[in-house]
Amino acid sequence: MDPLRPHGIRDDAAITADSAADHRQSEHQRGKQVSVGVIGVLYGLGTLLLMFSGMPIAFALGGIAVIFMLIFMPGASLDTITLNVYEEMANITLLSIPLFILKGAAIGKSRAGADLYLAIHAWMHKIPGGLGIANVFASALFAAMSGSSPATCSAIGSAGIPEMRSRGYSPRFAAGIIAAGGTLGILLPPSIVMILFAVAAEQSLGRLFLAGIGPGILLVTLFSVYAAFRYKKEYQEALDLWKDGGEKSAYLDAMELSLYDKTRLLPRVIPFVTLLIGVMVALYGGYATPSETAGLGGLLALLLIAVIYKVWRPSQLSPILTSALKESTMLMFIIGMSLLYSYVMSYLHISQSAAEAIVALSLSKWALLSVILLLVVVLGFFLPPVSIILMTAPIILPPLKAAGFDLIWFGVVMTIVMEMGLIHPPVGLNIFVIKNIAPDIPLRDIIWGVIPFVGLMVLAVLLICLFPDIATALPDAVFGATGK
């Protein structure tokens, strides 16, 4: 070293050598990133190709994962597929999913759902739009008992749609309000989708369940206000038509119910509402784990339908158990294959590289959230919420956490956005459930009927972004405030 050179200052040759080394390392890293990027693109395109081929979602996700394991991973990794899937699914929280499904099947396959709707209808029929509002409230309560969106649509819609149409409601309005009300099944606890988000994000399930209650009430309020507004509009149109000499609509016929009519269904409904409250107290009071709560709820639901509806013979229980078994098997298989899909993404550094690329965009906090929610909306065109959560969690959660977002809050926002996917085309599951319930309603009318509710969900997301306490206040009050 030159003795006249100040200490700590290196000569030009050393600097040049280090620069060349840094350049070579940068080129190597860039080549590696391109390689991972190409693999990621191929992985995504392969997934879409298999899904658009008509292959069931579970087989598509598992199939593309196995193909990329064969090509890009050591041969020995194939020997660990079963072990990896088992270890990922051996989560005690996931055990609650089939038990909540059993609880929902017991209520949905009995008269409980229809009786719940009729009881609420009897007490709310004099309110403007009361029949539509009754459907919203019945959907919310049934969703809180079943945790399933399709089950809510089917149970409430099978009674609600014919009743609304017989009272003069347009088929478009009747179909839209049932389809939208059914989406509450994945927001209000016990939500199966939220169970999966809690597992994927490693967040408290109790906090997440509580965080869904405030937004759930917000959506029920927005849907009810729209139902009253829509009712007044259709009522006025029916009145104007009648005054002009047209046919008198059932809208214009006053409906009177006696006190007996209002109270006769309460003895059947109250036990199920008590069951709902008891399950919530057991869960949030710390008396039982989510799995224990789900098991207790399932058994009590079976006991209640046996006592109230005399559903206890094997021939009567068979549809309930068969439905619960089929739905649980399908859902758990999708979960298992989605977890394998995510494992391969992680092993090949696809998810890590995608997360790093999102961070590298240097987006502002809210721009980042907007981009991620837009991605969820697009995925909702093709995938159910279960797959969206498990596929995207490794990619989107690290940047969101780094940006300072509360993942419990984000879980609620993401759930509402995924609710939109249940009612917007081309693959809105609830749309096809409604079509199955009311096959004479054109699919076009069902789609146009749900569009206003998609707008209301967008409004709810904006309100929760502006006022995050809508989601976080209740869990913070029960469990105490926590860091983000």
Q: What is the pLDDT of residue 25?
A: 45
Q: What is the pLDDT of residue 441?
A: 87
Q: What is the pLDDT of residue 223?
A: 93
Two tokens at 51?
Answer: 């899904």
Q: What is the pLDDT of residue 414?
A: 93
Q: What is the pLDDT of residue 267?
A: 81
Q: Which one, of 111, 115, 164, 106, lies nearest residue 264 by Cα?
A: 115
Which residue carries 């041969």 as its tokens? 75
Query: Mean pLDDT of successive 10-residue segments in the chain (484 residues)?
Result: 41 46 44 66 86 81 89 81 78 79 80 75 73 83 76 78 81 88 82 86 88 92 91 78 67 62 76 81 77 84 88 88 85 83 84 80 87 85 79 86 91 91 75 82 87 93 94 88 60
* Inter-axis angle of helices 81-89 and 314-347, nearest 10: 120
Two tokens at 233?
Answer: 């509009």
Question: With 0-12 CB in 10 A as exposed, 13-18 as middle and 19+ as buried, what is 95?
Answer: middle
Which residue carries 């994962």 as its tokens? 65
**CA dist 377 → 46, 213, 278, 414 (Å):** 20, 22, 35, 9
Q: What is the pLDDT of residue 9?
A: 39
Two tokens at 200?
Answer: 């994927």
* pTM, rounded to two decimals: 0.76
Q: Which one, of 383, 365, 463, 460, lies nearest residue 416 by Cα?
A: 460
CB 447 within 8 A of CB 420: no
Which residue carries 């055990």 as its tokens? 95
Residue 370 has a CB neighbour count (10 Å cut-off) of 13
Q: What is the pLDDT of residue 432?
A: 78
* Inter-axis angle of helices 407-423 and 429-437, nearest 10: 40
**Per residue, what are the HEC states of the chain?**
CCCCCCCCCCCHHHHHHHHHHHHHHHHHHHHHHHHHHHHHHHHHHHHHHHHHCCCCHHHHHHHHHHHHHHHHCCHHHHHHHHHHHHHHHCCCCCCHHHHHHHHHHHHHCCCHHHHHHHHHHHHHCCCCCHHHHHHHHHHHHHHHHHCCHHHHHHHHHHHHHHHHHHCCCCHHHHHHHHHHHHHHHHCCCCCHHHHHHHHHHCCCHHHHHHHCHHHHHHHHHHHHHHHHHHHHHHHHHHHHHHHCCCCCCHHHCCCCCCHHHHHCCHHHHHHHHHHHHHHHHHHHCCCCCHHHHHHHHHHHHHHHHHHHCCCCCHHHHHHHHHHHHHHHHHHHHHHHHHHHHHHHHHHCCHHHHHHHHHHHCCCCHHHHHHHHHHHHHHHHCCCCHHHHHHHHHHHHHHHHHHCCCCHHHHHHHHHHHHHHHHHCCCCCHHHHHHHHHCCCCCHHHHHHHHHHHHHHHHHHHHHHHHCCHHHHHHHHHHHCCCCC
CA distance 359 to 353: 10
Q: What is the pLDDT of residue 427?
A: 62
**CA dist 43 → 38, 203, 257, 351, 371 (Å):** 8, 28, 60, 11, 21
Two tokens at 188?
Answer: 């209000």
CA distance 474 to 409: 11
